[in-house]
Amino acid sequence: MASKESSTDGSLLLWLSIVNLLDLLYIPLGLLSAPLWMRKKRGGWGQRVGHVESMLTGAASDSTRSRVMLHAVSVGEVNALRSLVPELAQEADVIVSVTTDTGLQQAQALFGELGSVDVVRYPLDCSWMVKRFLNTVKPDVVGLVELEVWPNFIKACVQRDIPIGIINGRLSARSFKGYRKIRFLLRSTFARLSFVCVQDQDYRERIEAMGVASDRVSITGTMKWDAVDASTHTQPSSKAIEIADAMGIDRGKFIVVAGSTGPGEEALLHGALTSSVQLVIAPRKTERFDEAKAAVGGCVRRSTGECKPGSTRFVLDTIGELSAMYELADVVVIGRSFFDLYGSDPVEPAAMGKAVVIGPKHSDFLHAMEVLIAGDAIQVIDRQGLGDVVARLLDDESLREAMGHRARACVLAQQGTSQKHLAALLEHCGVKNT
């Protein structure tokens, strides 16, 4: 009979065989950061530790086809896959993994009804959780959208001979500054990537500096241009009309939509626009919905189901409805760009042919901004001039229409990138792109 001491030693050895040094680092970091991440309510903890069996509906279950996994962190990355996933599903089974609750909701809304596509939660990066996840999902190739390099996950894929790489890759100057400080820790992780498709030359140079071999990096552009509908629509969709009617928005009067706003911007917009202009505010983060309402007194909130005809201030505090609201806009203001953040994506309203205004803080979207600015398709303005610029646009229909035509033309000229990512993914899982 084994002694208690030998049994304990055996348990310890078994535990150490399951975890690794990185796991031992994650545990205290998780405990120390708990006060921060516990502030926000999060669901699906069983799924976050790798138990995703119940999320697999069987849509991606054709055993004769390759299985492609695409990992998108949140809403922005999910939206970038709008064009790629349907096309990819014609060639292979697709698993879309997502980290955030809002991203999961958006992925399910976009892809939940597609054949050959399942949506799951991405696991925490502890080795045993990653192992459990991969044992269930069984991908033949993994594409990480934009930049989501978790060491244990990448290492586990390489150990299983699963090609893993980055698609739609981007590494901003601000992020690179932080990554470079811990490059000695991450270099081996980046070096394990099988392929990297980046948006432009600057991103390529930064990715290579992190340790990816140059022959594994290619410039393919951004899929965000493909993820939007740039066809001409003369009438708003039934969904847009339903939202407007439900909130009491008068479609016969001017509507300004402020998308993905950040702290301070709701009050700024409220003060900059006259009370006769209907202002619809869509905060970027769900935890800021109450704060946005407080900044715009007497507003109508979409989530309450209330309708107040005659109101001119509205808060769109629901997920997945901003695109429909953009359809109704006479002018779109891009949020997180007027204070100390780094901008939001201007591509979608530009594709709709809207007159788009953005603040000077937009460093996270430099490539898109360079294209739109070069095409005279967007107005960059500071906080002091915001009200005057919006008023001028509202007063001049021909100016709005001209900006909108130029914006749509810019988007159309950039489209086609998703096909390049499709080819890269299929190549690495041994499927010839037909």
Q: pLDDT-derived band of residue 61, with 50, 70 and 90 as boundaries?
A: confident
pLDDT at 10 over 50: no
Q: pLDDT-derived band of residue 391, with 50, 70 and 90 as boundaries?
A: very high
Residues 41-60 have a mean pLDDT of 85
Say what the pLDDT of residue 36 is: 58
pLDDT at 434 over 70: no
Residues 258-263 have a mean pLDDT of 97
pLDDT at 275 over 70: yes
Query: Which tens digits make up the pLDDT trace of 336-371?
Result: 999 999 999 999 999 999 999 999 999 989 889 999
Contact criterion met (CB below 8 Å) for 64 and 132? no
Contact criterion met (CB below 8 Å) for 375 and 225? no
pTM: 0.80
Helix (H), strand (E) counts: the chain: 20, 14
Residue whose C-alpha is closest to residue 75's, from 118, 97, 117, 105: 105
Q: Long-range pairs for 318-324 at CB < 8 Å and ≥24 separation?
A: 319/75, 319/102, 319/105, 319/106, 319/109, 319/286, 320/105, 320/106, 320/109, 321/239, 321/243, 322/257, 322/259, 322/260, 322/282, 323/348, 324/236, 324/237, 324/239, 324/240, 324/243
Say what the pLDDT of residue 229 is: 87
pLDDT at 223 over 70: yes
pLDDT at 21 over 90: no
pLDDT at 395 over 80: yes
Residue whose C-alpha is closest to residue 426's, from 87, 68, 90, 168: 68
Query: Which tens digits make up the pLDDT trace of 283-338?
Result: 999 889 999 999 998 899 999 988 888 999 999 999 889 999 999 999 999 999 99
Say what the pLDDT of residue 44 is: 81
pLDDT at 157 over 90: yes
pLDDT at 60 over 90: no
Average pLDDT of the chain to the nearest whole number: 90
Residues 82-98 have a mean pLDDT of 96
Domains of the chain, CATH where assigned: 41-226+416-428 (3.40.50.11720), 238-414 (3.40.50.2000)
Q: pLDDT-derived band of residue 165, with 50, 70 and 90 as boundaries?
A: very high
Which has more pLDDT, 223 or 10? 223
pLDDT at 398 over 80: yes
Say what the pLDDT of residue 2 is: 45
Residues 205-230 have a mean pLDDT of 94
Say what the pLDDT of residue 35 is: 57
Say what the pLDDT of residue 46 is: 87
Q: pLDDT-derived band of residue 22, with 50, 70 and 90 as boundaries?
A: confident
Which has more pLDDT, 38 or 192? 192
pLDDT at 233 over 80: no
Q: pLDDT-derived band of residue 59, with 50, 70 and 90 as boundaries?
A: confident
**How far is the C-alpha of 169 from the C-alpha of 182, rounded, in Å?**
19
Which residues on neighbouring strands pair with residue 300, listed in sequence order? 314
Residue whose C-alpha is closest to residue 334's, from 228, 238, 257: 257
Say what the pLDDT of residue 29 is: 66
Residues 399-415 have a mean pLDDT of 96
pLDDT at 12 over 80: no
